[in-house]
Structure 1
């Protein structure tokens, strides 16, 4: 398979190439391109690759600008640190959406998806294809793990192991079901956008909680709800009356 990599970070592009060739030794990486302008030039003057790995934020702009300038007819696997572009990626031949940092298994699954859906691409209508990819992306574009740093070590924390996330002084901290705590350098708003809204609920300005961590819910003064988790929190978790219906619906839709 002839593959094109569009990635503005040189080390990331080399690492991706090595991983691709490790998993797909019969494949060939045609080129590693760092910019929107370079990608447009390459795709305008060379035969189409069979697959493109594409970062979204490039050195000179957003990769979606490439699609405005040239027609891309092969599937694209988007690789990015941002989850908010998923729906736009679907419209631009996106067959998968890998959130950085992704693992070897994530890449292996992406290749399996390319091969598994090859026949579907040939047989399905455009609307059918968009519907299929939309369902897949909705489930898989959300964050599944976090790379954290503590005690001079990098660790991977799975989102399934996170009981809740809260604002600890000025920045968010992840708290696991085992009571372990790790700081992250992303805002709570951003974390809420990249986590599955079926799994996590934004309780208030300070807390995001995992459905699996909810122990019980009680009525509280002023038509509020008092949420108790299986893991202790530093303060009472209260939901204002304006969000109680939304929260109860979230609990019920399982």
Structure 2
């Protein structure tokens, strides 16, 4: 379905491929719309929203480069309708339904996007966001943390206990888990999806490539631009960096 409205649409998304796909889909639905962004951090999103008129519609990823996007709406009042995009598991989707917030599960399906846009055009308004309630609902409870992962080893399928996993990492668009013994297995999940499955007390998303367990971190060094360089056990990568925006969160995580 094609829409003729000349909307002002803001895209808040820290993954460039996902932002480009959303932009292409929206251009098909709204040929005359003005698409702003993509913005990839809380800071840049707050700055943009403070310096521009409110857009007609916002597409907003939950996990940004410097934290969860809910912080944007805690810092400033946003009256625009919002469609959240998320790679979180089913438990989180219930939170959106309870809060009457529209959402799209990534990778975005064109038909689901069409349905969300039809809902947006029929309502043309956004219910008030209960950010604290939504954040609480998005925190995985104990029974939502995966305790094991099924992996394929040759012609066999085996189960790897989460407690035996050192890191998860992405390489050439493939996701791997690596055990404390250094064995690697391919997973069918993205790192974004894994973030919603793992106990945040035991695993930390260092950057776009790595999720590390507490026990996998062998050395931490200060680095340029207030960043940190991390050395992981059984890993040859010498350039594992924690961005300046995540350093505070990382230190809090280390401190327990």
TM-score bracket, shorter-length normalisation: 0.3 to 0.5
TM-score, with length taken from structure 1? 0.46
Work out which structure has the larger RCO, using CA pairs closer than 8 Å and 6 or more positions apart in sequence.
2
Q: In terms of Rg, which structure is larger?
A: 1
TM-score, with length taken from structure 2? 0.46
